[in-house]
Structure 1
Amino acid sequence: MDHSPYILFSDGKGNIFEDTTLYATGRSGWNAMPVQQDEWIELPAGGQLYELPERRGIGIDVQTGEMRLCEKGWAVAAFIPPAHTGLYIAAYESLPGAETLPLFCYTAAGWHNEKFYVPAIRIEQDVRQESKGFINEKIKDGVSKYLSAYPHNRLVKHLADNCCNTYHCPAARNYFMGRWECPVPTSPACNANCIGCISFQPKEETIISTQDRLMFKPTAEEIIEFTVPHLKSSPYPIVSFGQGCEGEPLLMWQTIKEAIVEIRKHTDKGSININTNGSDPEAVKALCEAGLNSIRVSTNSVREEIYTPYYRPNNYHFNDIIESLKVVNTYGGWTSINYFVFPGMTDSIDEYEALRKVIKETGLKMIQWRNFNIDPDWYLEKIGVVDTGECIGIKQMMELIREEFPDLKFGYFNPSMERIKGDFEIDFAH
């Protein structure tokens, strides 16, 4: 790359252009900054570009080297597909009264040599959510087949009608293609009030959730009926409790425990995983004793002072999520954190030091470096952060963590049992 990509702008009518008088910048915390040329990659397949209404992109003047606004149109950001982690947010200045952006990630983007570029890295080689791998006819056939096979199963119907056909959930689509990770939502209720919740937003809020939440409590029998065949027949099989279309699965731990016990009577194949906020260590212990293999705890930060104003927990505290990770580690299970990456917060010195402490304290096995789906300004304002502190860069932080903890795995998806027990770099969907 002989120079940085040019900034992009939208005309408000669905058309995107480059402005060759400005180089694209990235955002870290509240600040716009240059992006190193070696941090740009081509926009991966499955990526999309977003117009950011009522926002002007911030670029670097090609002639003067000074930062200024692109006044030609609205700012543009990229959605980068799963398996990739963004290194910088799109840099822009909002006009007064600009509406809150919906719950997606907003990675910086630019144009160079007739191609779109983003500052990102591929953090995961597993292909389970690559757009080219989804075959619509096969998915349609799978939906028809499974609805016929389980005509009275409300959960299978929910996965078909709500998750697969309405929201095109990658996990649900994979299930109906008979492969890999099978989603198992169980809880219509939650014990947190996350600012960026994707399945429930209060009516008075300025945004809406991106999907509808599960409205019933499935029985253990409903869970067992379709998960056992999946574990027996699918490649790299996983069943995962805790999905984006529900509340907190640990509130349904008794049902999940009953299901796990019965599943393991029928098959010892595959991995049984829970995606959770980790709020109830005693429930996690009960699930481990029943046969839970892995846990993924979601968090926007490993610092209580940043975690709490975002999650707004009911009847649990930050330390409970640390204890839950410890519990699973004690039982020999696989532990991951679903780490919401926000450049300028995630890579702050304070966060880096806190992460090092958590890794040591919990015996953490994996970090899933997930892009944070949230309006950047809205998020920082909601949690009351004015100064994000000194930062080291997302890429640099990853390198430092890798160097200090060589056995800690990086990725984007829950690993199968084959990957956990075998070669982590080979034994996965590809």
Structure 2
Amino acid sequence: MTITPPALSVFETVESEVRSYCRGWPAVFDRAQGARLTDEDGHTYLDFFAGAGSLNYGHNNPVLKRALLDYLERDGITHGLDMATTAKRAFLESFQNVILRPRDLPYKVMFPGPTGTNAVEAALKLARKVKGRESIVSFTNAFHGMSLGSLAVTGNAFKRAGAGIPLVHGTPMPFDNYLDGQVPDFLWFERLLEDQGSGLNKPAAVIVETVQGEGGINVARPEWLRALRELCDRQDMLLIVDDIQMGCGRTGAFFSFEEAGITPDIVTLSKSISGYGLPMSLCLFMPELDVWGPGEHNGTFRGNNPAFVTATAALDTYWADGQMEKQTIARGEQVEQALLAICDENSAYGAHFRGRGLVWGMEFTDKSRATAVCARAFELGLLVETSGPQSEVVKLLPSLTITPDELDEGLRTLARAVRETA
């Protein structure tokens, strides 16, 4: 496919230099449906990006769109702060009946604001309020958001530097296999906790991603997560799982921590919880942690009722019968087999891959190659992005509703992009 770079004058002259995705994908997108986007010149692209994980059910999912249009056409409440509305009630009932009760999770549900970093900020504030301590432990290569509290528990040096001030009260520890298995899990962490001379303030909580998406598709082993849960229990620390990108079925089960058989004290969700790309986030926590005073943490857009409508439709359509998890695991096996073949073909370049469900990453000895692969994939009509602290990982994040044929098409295009950048 030959793509003529569009005239981006208004974007270049009016929009801030902070824009990023448009630099790697120089097209003006106009329409989208399912797993495909179309630009204003009529070029179609297969989407292995899914709105950075916000579109698990694809673009303009017809079931969710119909529910949203019906709601808007009857003049349903659009903006409601945290007032009680019929849309919020329907969502809470579906979330409780379809997600929480079948998993024996007694979580209270908080609407902290519309973005993932809002949910993380709420989780950190709540942990500190409950425990009366300031310190939060995070992990190497973690990413939890771009506001100050979330940045303090984020590992990426470039993103942290953007804060412009010291980021305090966060302490990083090694993520699973960070030290290549040379040191027993949590030896350093627990030694610091028990040593009165270590200088580590007693943490209120530990925050972790089960799969580090922005950090490079680093997958924590179930046994590592179980050991972390046990460590938190022994040391009187709360366990926060950031499931903003890996939740809502991305790894197979609705919550990414289900495979490990653990129950976090606090969970953050966003991105695909609305199902339609509409801003929405949740902070879930055990009932005994619900010590908030009314309005103690709030936000003007915490009651996004159109998002409640599409979220309810997504839960009722895709999660009531248990089939979505099985489908995602099957699609993941399809990706795994394709990546195995690509990496075998490129073994001389140190190609290797990792992932779970429908989130995968591929890396090469030459760390710059990931960017070249993504650029060539775009030229061939496939949207993939990089991740990792040096943008060294090709990250695959297709929608959960992608068809096997579409998935195969994208994987063949990826293989060609890898081959043509060798």
Q: TM-score, normalised by structure 1?
A: 0.31
Q: TM-score, normalised by structure 2?
A: 0.31
Greater RCO (Cα-Cα under 8 Å, separation 6 or more) = 2
Decide which structure has greater helix share: 2
